[in-house]
Amino acid sequence: MAEQFAGTIALQDISRLQIYHNTARYPEREMEKILQETGGSFLFGGPIFLSNLQACCHLKGDGVTYCAPAYQVWGMAWSRDVQDYGCALLPDGRDNCVECVALIVNGKPVEKPHYNPDMGGSRPRQAMGSKEGRFAYLVTETAYTPEALRDVLASAGWDSAVMLDGGGSVCYRDRQGRGFACDPSRVLPFYLVVHQKKEESPVSEKKRVCLDAGHDAGNLANKSPDGTYYEHEFTLDMAKRIREHLERCGAAVTETRPDGKAVSLAQRCKIANGIQGLDLFVSLHSNAAASSGWSSAKGWSCYLYGAGGEREKAAQAVLKQVKAAGVTVRTTALVYDPALYVLKNTNAPAVLIEHAFHTNQEDTANLKSEEWRAKVAQAEARGIADYLGLVWVAPSSGVPQEPAEPAEPEKPSVPAEPVQEDEDAELSAAVEKLAAAGILDSPDYWAAGKYSAATVRLLLIKMAAAMN
């Protein structure tokens, strides 16, 4: 499963947002040394850089300018106290600034993000920006194109966003020892280190969900009239499906009956109430009409203890996604019922979903359908993610395979046309010779003809230097 760390932090809770210059050349696997050295709360990879580990776009840290190209571009800037952190047109007079690829500027997604071809494609990504006046970050192993990353951040409500270096440069580490490194051996010249005033506050704002699969295997009464469907089997399956989606989006998920064994209503509530900081309790069921045979009642609905509050916000978010998925919904989709035990006795916001009627033939066919279950589970998980403010990670993204990257990343503000491919023997021989001489890094990249005008320029400079 792909790792992901994302969150927002109020500016008043940040004592310092540091651009760390990695002069000690710590590789990604030694990120904890940087945390020890700086006393930071957590860190992640920084902007793109050249093969000589020099910054290649606007970058300033604590008043030290590392790169200041002669062009203006949107990025993030802040002073030493971080209170004026926000989107800015660089160069900027403040003490710190970062430029890479602007994705969202002043609340508006950039229609065509400006980057070189070697920064495109699907790969792990990291971004920094702002949301509702707070510092926002995302570091994920899940593969995105820059455009897809823009879209998920915009849908999550980010006001501004800058994509940082991707692929093997994506990494994260916090004081609790959590994190990952896409390329543990890679040396990054710059990191973003976040210093929080309140160390006890969660650095990744991990949301917590409790999924309650209704009934258990000992309950054989809750079934379809023809005996081909049992509610306990369905709810357990749906809990597993929804859990997979939510965990992929970075949520911490607890199930009340993960193994299918009998759990009383009181025990279910005890489990939920024992989860510190639980954000949402979701009980999963299928409905039944009063009659013992088939009935005409059908459709999805959601039960709440009462109107208003966080529970209704959660229910509305789930309902929205369920409707968007084309699921049949009852006329009264939200039902207020203070008598339901788990809704009455759970401390966290709680909802109880009745997916369909297992006493209706059409609904029962859906309840038994693999395709229908997959569709509804994804819709409900997406609604829960929306309510929790999580970035939705599509299941089709999968765990990425790190793409081959050039050793000399290019300046994103000056796109260059790729040189026409030439994979002949003469080129291969030349590449091998230059690699043996220590002039070329990543010979496979050059032999495949993936170089651009900008990387050729850097190569010429490097060759000239080697002749001196």
Write down the pLDDT at residue 1.
58
Q: How far apart are CA 446 and CA 141, in angstroms?
A: 26
Helix (H, G, I), strand (E, B) or coil at 361: helix
pLDDT of residue 134: 94
Would you list the DSSP string of 80-91?
A: TT-TT-EEEEES
pLDDT tens for 261-271 read: 888 999 999 99
DSSP per-residue string spanning 119-152: G-SSEEEEEEEEETTEEEEEEEEEEE-HHHHHHH
Q: Is 76 helix (H, G, I), strand (E, B) or coil?
A: strand
Write the CATH number of the domain with boundaries 208-388.
3.40.630.40
* Neighbour count for residue 268 (Cβ, 10 Å): 22
Contacts of 268 (CB under 8 A, 6+ apart): 212, 256, 257, 283, 342
Q: pLDDT value at position 391? A: 82
Q: Using CB atoms within 10 Å of the CB of residue 407, give its burial: 0 to 12 exposed, 13 to 18 middle, 19+ buried.
A: middle
In 10 A of CB 183, how many CB atoms?
18
Cis ω for the linkage preceding 415 (within 30 of 0): no
| Strands 252-255 vs 280-287: parallel, antiparallel or unpaired | unpaired
Q: Report the alpha-carbon distance of residue 137 to residue 163 in Å, rounded.
A: 10
pLDDT of residue 467: 66
Give yes or no for a contact between 211 and 242, defined as CB atoms under 8 angstroms apart: yes
- What pLDDT shows up at residue 400? 34
- CB of 295 closer than 8 Å to CB of 278: no
350-357 and 190-196 beta bridge pairing: unpaired
pLDDT score, position 220: 77
Q: What is the 3-state secondary structure (H, E, C) of 56-67?
A: CCCEEECCEEEE
Structural domain boundaries in the chain: 4-196, 208-388, 425-467
> Helices 370-388 and 361-368: crossing angle, nearest 10°?
80
Q: Identify the pLDDT of residue 204.
A: 44
Round to whole Å and give the CA distance between 407 and 280.
Answer: 45
pLDDT for res 341:
95
User: Using CA atoms, how far apart are residues 282 and 413, in angstroms rounded to an integer?
Assistant: 47
**What is the chain's mean pLDDT, rounded?**
86
Spell out the per-residue pLDDT of the chain, length 468, in tens. 578 899 999 999 999 999 999 999 999 999 999 999 999 999 999 998 888 899 999 999 999 999 999 999 999 999 988 999 999 999 999 999 999 999 999 999 999 999 988 889 999 999 999 999 999 999 999 999 999 999 999 988 899 999 999 999 999 999 888 999 999 999 999 999 999 986 544 434 578 999 999 998 777 788 999 999 999 999 999 999 999 999 888 899 999 998 888 889 999 999 998 888 899 999 999 999 877 789 999 999 999 999 999 999 999 999 999 999 999 999 999 999 999 999 999 999 999 999 999 999 999 999 999 999 999 999 999 999 999 988 888 875 443 333 333 333 333 333 333 333 334 567 777 777 776 776 665 555 566 554 555 456 556 666 766 665
Q: Say if CB 163 and CB 127 are below 8 A apart.
A: yes
Closest CA to 380 of 241, 201, 234: 241
Question: Cβ-count burial of 398 within 10 angstroms (0-12 exposed, 13-18 middle, 19+ buried)?
Answer: middle
